[in-house]
Amino acid sequence: MQGADLQQTTAADEEASGWRAPRSSAWSLPEVRWALTATGLFIVGGLVQLAAAPPWLYWTLYLACYVTGGWEPGWAGLKALRDHTLDVDLLMVAAAIGAAAIGQVFDGALLIVIFATSGALEAVATKRTEDSVRGLLDLAPETATRTTDSGREEVVDTAVLEVGDVLMIRPGERIGGDGVVIDGASEVDQASITGEPLPVDKAAGDEVFAGTVNGTGTLRVQVQRPAAETVIARIVAMVSEASASKAKLQLVIEKIEQRYSISMVVVTVALFVIPLLLGADLQSTLLRAMTFMIVASPCALVLSTMPPLLSAIANAGRHGVLVKSAVALEKLGTVTHVAVDKTGTLTEGSPRLMHIRTVPGAAVDDAELIALAAAVEHPSEHPLARAIVTAARDAGLTLHPAEDFASTPGYGVRGRVDDDLVEVGSPILLTDDHDVAHDVVGELERTGHTAVVVQVNGTVAGVLGLTDQVRDAAADMVTALTSLIGTQPILLTGDNPRAAAALAAEVGITEISAGLLPQDKVEAVRELEARGAKVMLVGDGVNDAPAMAAATVGVAMGRAGSDLALDTADVVITRDDLSTIPAVIALSRRARGLVIANLMIAATFITLLVAWDLIGHLPLPLGVAGHEGSTIIVGLNGLRLLRDAAWPFAQTV
């Protein structure tokens, strides 16, 4: 059906180039203009015909209606035919021409008008979906004030900003790029990116995002990412990619559509030829055959699937959930079990260093232990690594650069600091002969801390104890998921069993698997799926990525997530709001329900109209109205999910 496929504007390209497509109203769409023109010609033609004007006059008006309303779908159908594809648009235009050929020019013009109006309504609906995606771009300002080395200020397009540029952000202005505050203090409204309801205090060293709103202070911000790689640009790109994808059901329908269309043409020809051979008159036979071709066309079936799914993707994007494809959205609705990581997922992912325990006889003291550990952890993006580095900096320690850095997921990191080989990682590093270190690890873990072992030149030098805070929405998420999918979430973590048990008890999880390496998480997911479960894996780190890939659906925490986790995941929670996880599952189920309802509506209309035409006498105008009406109904029904009210649990998000 004309306009049924979402024509994606490359929003990410607009952001990268600095050019933005001008916002236009629905009336500026070509489909709308042609439909209005065809409708006007049809009405005037009808009035002229009623006034008993010469036939050539209203015929001219009706034929002009044919041209204005039918040339675009007709031309698209001919191009598809050249590619050996039978397009239903071409069949509709052929039926209208056939009606005119037997003198039923009014009926043919009516078909063209309703067909063009249906296409225009689909184009308007598609534009609404596109605008909901492109509207994200409006969060970022088009210009920013850049300061030069000489201290002079200049207003430049945000698209030309480069890493290292320094921006002057005055009170009330939107921040022009992702960066770090180098001078000044203010509060910044980050609700558009992180969902935080209150402004966040920002000072030197704090990160800020493009599109967020500065408060009462003045900030100098050094740009850290080019325009095309800002958080908001990545959000737009990911939503656009998701909207451009096709669901599995849609692909099946498109594959069936070609065979169905060919069969429909064969039956139409048979309905025309066989009665003629049996002595039927030409006009009534051709009219019935054309009516059959119209009412049997699968336009409504084709349009049944994508509007609900694309609307749900756009709605989720507005609420901080990036669903990367229509296939992923479909899978979300089938989830029966949810497995969650601990650090950075159920917890804030920003642990704090609380205990420093050097072992007796170690060649380093507490300060040296932290300095060496932080030097090696500095290149790592793991939350525990950031906590150790932060503690060292807060203590005013000097960090020497680490060479030969290497990271092994599930074990830890290693590197050479000056002349020392330093290894920092999980208690797996300990061998059986390290009794004192084992005792320290056990003591820390019993009190709910995460233990990190530090080895210097192959000898255990000390153990660090870190704690993390549970996210506010973690317990509510567990309750909501248990109620929604009927099974309680499962905790899969590389952390120690004691720390995992303490957190699980706090959020209400009873099934725990702790001390897992990346391959162990993959095995746990596969065991669940071998029992018939559809598993969603929620995580944030490099060690979660393999399990995400193995799961039915992988979900990454957007702010704390590693690049590998974000790339591997099917869904990204951009605001790290756990309450959106049950919400997006419920939204997916609503979308699946609308798809099924649309398919039933479309199939019912086609069956009734075809049976009426074959058994009785279905007037062509009524057949046209029924066919196009069902197409409009399923299209608009799917777009209901664009509304904010369609977001489940809206009161908690």
Q: Which of 87, 165, 178, 341 is catalytic?
A: 341
Paired residues of 213 in beta bridges: 174, 189
Tokens matching residue 166: 């320094």
Measured CA to CA, the distance from residue 366 to residue 385 in angstroms comes to 17
On whether the CB atoms of residues 80 and 86 are closer than 8 A, the answer is yes
- The closest alpha carbon to 575, from 196, 258, 233, 246, belongs to 196
* DSSP-derived pairing of the beta strands 337-340 and 535-539: parallel
In the three-class reduction of DSSP (H, G, I as helix; E, B as strand; rest coil), residue 338 is classed as strand
Does residue 341 carry a catalytic annotation? yes
In the three-class reduction of DSSP (H, G, I as helix; E, B as strand; rest coil), residue 222 is classed as strand
On whether the CB atoms of residues 306 and 326 are closer than 8 A, the answer is yes
Paired residues of 536 in beta bridges: 338, 553
Measured CA to CA, the distance from residue 567 to residue 322 in angstroms comes to 12
- The closest alpha carbon to 653, from 556, 602, 598, 581, belongs to 581
165, 175, 213 from 217: Cα distances, Å? 20, 13, 11
Measured CA to CA, the distance from residue 170 to residue 527 in angstroms comes to 55
How many Å is the maximal CA-CA distance in the chain?
112
On whether the CB atoms of residues 184 and 217 are closer than 8 A, the answer is yes
Measured CA to CA, the distance from residue 550 to residue 542 in angstroms comes to 14
- The closest alpha carbon to 169, from 199, 208, 224, 227, belongs to 208
Tokens matching residue 530: 């071998």
On whether the CB atoms of residues 340 and 490 are closer than 8 A, the answer is yes
11, 136, 158, 228, 264 from 18: Cα distances, Å? 10, 14, 7, 9, 48
Please list the active-site residues.
Answer: 341
